[in-house]
Structure 1
Amino acid sequence: MPERTEIAVVGAGIIGVACALQLARQGRQMVVIDLQAPGMGASYGNAGHLATEQVFPIADASILKRLPGMLMDPMGPLRLDWQYLPRALPWFIRLLLNLRPARYRRTVAGIRALNEASLAAWQRLLHSIDRAQLLREDGSLLVFERPESRAALEAVQERMRQQQVPVTFWTGDAIRQAAPQLSDAILGGLFFPSTGHFLDPYQVVCELVEAAKAAGVQFLQRQVLDGRTDDQGVTLSTDQGPLAARQVLIACGAHSARLTAALTGKTVPLDTERGYHLMLPHEHQRLPFAVTSVERKFIMTPMTGGLRLAGTVEFAGLERPANMQRAWQLHRLSKGLFRQDLSQEGATPWMGFRPSLPDSLPVIDRVCDGKVLLAFGHQHLGLTQAAVTAEMVGRLASGDQLQSGFAPYRLDRF
């Protein structure tokens, strides 16, 4: 006989764990299943930036011009593996189709709706576990070094204002007053006051896990092999035997497509953007907040464990080995941004999978007569949108209707 539970969450990343805690607090019997320990996927190594300002899709029409460079430069900020090109091409075609005006506007509205609610949702969640200190709400900065970049940055500022994203222009002197260790080469930038950063993204997951366990959630380290729906709910096949549940939440990030297809019959165009970071443990006092470079296309976030350099996008699927030279490239990119170069003593590289759909919107939905809940595909914004996603999933699990703006996140848009 299979083990039984009320709700099984497949995926123990930040979204799965936040959802499990939310559902347990609603009185539901919960099990979370993942092959890895909680938080050891993309949630472990993300940039730590609460990116509420990022309301635009992951790409625009200029990606066509950049395609040759993507294929030729193994160290470029945006790379497409030659061997993965045949599999990636249908996804890229759908991405381009979603850049048509009506669909593009829907995407921006959908991202903006989640991001506008994200900070308050995180405040509620962290206060509820008495860990508000893990989030620093002191803004973030986008800087430029070349005079010709100023016009492009001013255009970004105007687009942000049109979307009601709080933003102000800072001169180079204002930037160095706030962050004295930054180089004189920085000419100016955009400051986003309604953003922040997490001091340790992995610790955030761990604290939520402890709160979830205290609320009765059980964590199982197993591999989910398959699943099927039946009159009673859903039965999952795992490497340690079957598990039956009234409802299942699929929240396993870049690995969500196969189980979604098995349970719903729907093929989801989910791909993965492989992201890299380099953690510098001896750099604790360089920055007061997250700083992104326009020209160098990466972000630097101060954390408890040092300074995290993160960024780059690599399309190479889930199976290809990591190219850790892309992580070390981040240190080379940092040269010239500071008055004194960053120390890479004891640095550690990392690679993880960002789950991305071609319209840059996540799937947050209830399907199969409520037996299957979905929360995946948050691309670069999984950490940012985790808390608000958990609140939405809590309402979905109870059968409640969400606001009319919920339509962009439905599974049936594909």
Structure 2
Amino acid sequence: MLETPETDIAVVGAGIVGVACALQLARQGKRVLLIDRQAPGHGASWGNAGHLATEQVFPIADLSILKRLPAMLLDPMGPLRLDWKYLPRALPWFTRLLLNLRPAPFQRSVAGLRALNEASLGAWQRLLDSIGRADLLHEDGSLLVFERAESRPALQALRARLQQQAVPVDYWSAQAVHAAAPQLSPSLQGGLFFPRTGHFVDPYRVVGALFDAAQAAGVRFARRQVSGGRLHAGRVTLHSDQGELQARQVLIACGAHSARLVHSLTGKRVPLDTERGYHLMLPNEQQRLPFAVTSLERKFIMTPMAGGLRLAGTVEFAGLDAAPSMQRAWQLHRLSKGLFRRELDAEGATPWMGFRPSLPDSLPVIDRVADGKVLLAFGHQHLGLTQAAVTAQWVGQLIEGLRIPEAYRLDRF
């Protein structure tokens, strides 16, 4: 057994959610050990779109997914792809997804997403202010643009649905779009502007800043591969590739890799799958956009960052083991053609793929189980960055014995 200092809470997962939670717990006086097989921030948190997506209060799919299923299986470059070789393993998850599209569970998902997202911007403001790094978040809104006149009714319907959920949203004419983002194509018809959103200048830098603050607060880091564990009276043992680790409690926050550890410690099977997301980073495009811009028809997002312009947003269901298809990342550059007055410069561009942890009702698990020895914070789908700060606050409440809404409990499955 490894000789380790006494640990109150071992946090498994050093992505944005895990690091934010580790900092929160340390500030509450807990002795925290953060564990990950990679350096902090090198998983999905490294390559996400960087968009603070508070406007995204609807589940990851609606009933139109049934019409799109043939294309998902046949088009390897489509915005939503299901690898046909993965279909047998994905069917139970997709069946649950479809069942959650019935009116009552769908509305529960919307209410759950809205509750998290409405609190997210304020939580991030407080968290970044507390470490002196408010500069990492630009609270400048985001824009959803459309190109075809026939898309206008769908855009208007989306605006009405968002307004019903009290999401701040403004309709922008073509003139307003071009005044705010003059490098976009004059052929754009208009869009929806979301004033209570923003973007991070570099998601990896955000994780780094929080990790530095966590270490200053006493959090220790161990680079280990955790493969399982067992519960004892008053403590938890974690099995790693370098021996065993002991703690009084464990927080599972390792994203798409959480299900196996949950089962090992609790015996519960969680219907967790992964949306494999791709990005293409364009280092020569640092001044092209003032804020994040999404294309309604092309279904991808472009976010300005310190290191260039990041194109992101495709979804692929192919599991954790299949090799990445980097052509999907390069497809994002092809999708950008026609959206600007001058084509984007892809020289020196770098592709990336990461795993977004998704549950079939689109809500994360944020819970305390096994007599309080196991805490859970995973399954945020593509909203992990958006919801990380408020998740950390809620985990802080759980550790004090307070309850959070039932919508996020593990036993809903």
Q: Per-residue displacement from partner, 1:233-290 (whole Å, max 9, x unpaired)? A: 2100111111111110000000000000111111000000000000000001110000
The letter of the residue matching 2:82 is L
Q: Per-residue displacement from partner, 1:59-87 (whole Å, max 9, x unpaired)? A: 00110110000000000000000110000
Q: Which residue pairs with 1:16 in the alignment?
A: 18
Superposed displacement of residue 398, structure 1: 1.7
TM-score, normalised to structure 1's length?
A: 0.99
Work out the CA distance in 2 between the residues paired with 1:224 and 1:240. 9
Superposed displacement of residue 401, structure 1: 2.6
Q: Which residue pairs with 2:396 in the alignment?
A: 394
TM-score, normalised to structure 2's length?
A: 0.99
Superposed displacement of residue 110, structure 1: 0.2
Q: Which residue pairs with 1:254 in the alignment?
A: 256
Q: Which residue pairs with 2:412 in the alignment?
A: 413
Work out the CA distance in 1 between the residues paired with 2:209 and 2:357. 23
The letter of the residue matching 1:114 is L
Work out the CA distance in 1 between the residues paired with 2:195 and 2:235. 45
Query: Within 5 Å, which residues of 2 pair with 1:134-145?
Result: 134-145=136-147
Work out the CA distance in 1 between the residues paired with 2:119 and 2:263. 30
Query: Within 5 Å, which residues of 2 pair with 1:235-254?
Result: 235-254=237-256
Aligned length: 411
Q: Which residue pairs with 1:344 in the alignment?
A: 346
Q: Which residue pairs with 2:207 in the alignment?
A: 205
Runs of 4+ aligned residues of structure 1 deviating over 4 Å after TM superposition are none
The letter of the residue matching 2:153 is A
Work out the CA distance in 2 between the residues paired with 1:58 and 1:399. 31
Q: Which residue pairs with 1:311 in the alignment?
A: 313
Work out the CA distance in 1 between the residues paired with 2:392 and 2:382. 17
Work out the CA distance in 2 between the residues paired with 1:138 and 1:264. 43
Q: Which residue pairs with 2:223 in the alignment?
A: 221
Q: Which residue pairs with 1:294 in the alignment?
A: 296
Unaligned runs of 5+ in 2: none
Query: Within 5 Å, which residues of 2 pair with 1:68-217?
Result: 68-217=70-219
Q: Per-residue displacement from partner, 1:202-249 (whole Å, max 9, x unpaired)? A: 000000000000011011110001101110221001111111111100
CA root-mean-square deviation: 0.6
The letter of the residue matching 2:409 is R
The letter of the residue matching 2:9 is I
Work out the CA distance in 2 between the residues paired with 1:204 and 1:274. 22
Q: Per-residue displacement from partner, 1:164-210 (whole Å, max 9, x unpaired)? A: 00001001111000000000111010000000000000000000000
The letter of the residue matching 2:12 is V
Q: Per-residue displacement from partner, 1:9-56 (whole Å, max 9, x unpaired)? A: 000000000000000001100000000110000000000000000000
Q: Per-residue displacement from partner, 1:101-133 (whole Å, max 9, x unpaired)? A: 110010000000000000000000000000001
Work out the CA distance in 2 between the residues paired with 1:160 and 1:232. 46
Superposed displacement of residue 400, structure 1: 2.0
Q: Secondary structure at the match of 2:248?
A: strand
Work out the CA distance in 2 between the residues paired with 1:187 and 1:372. 51
Q: Secondary structure at the match of 1:308?
A: strand
Work out the CA distance in 1 between the residues paired with 2:389 and 2:221. 19
Work out the CA distance in 2 between the residues paired with 1:148 and 1:40. 41
Aligned identity (percent) is 76
Superposed displacement of residue 397, structure 1: 1.1
Q: Which residue pairs with 2:363 in the alignment?
A: 361
Unaligned runs of 5+ in 1: none
The letter of the residue matching 2:225 is Q
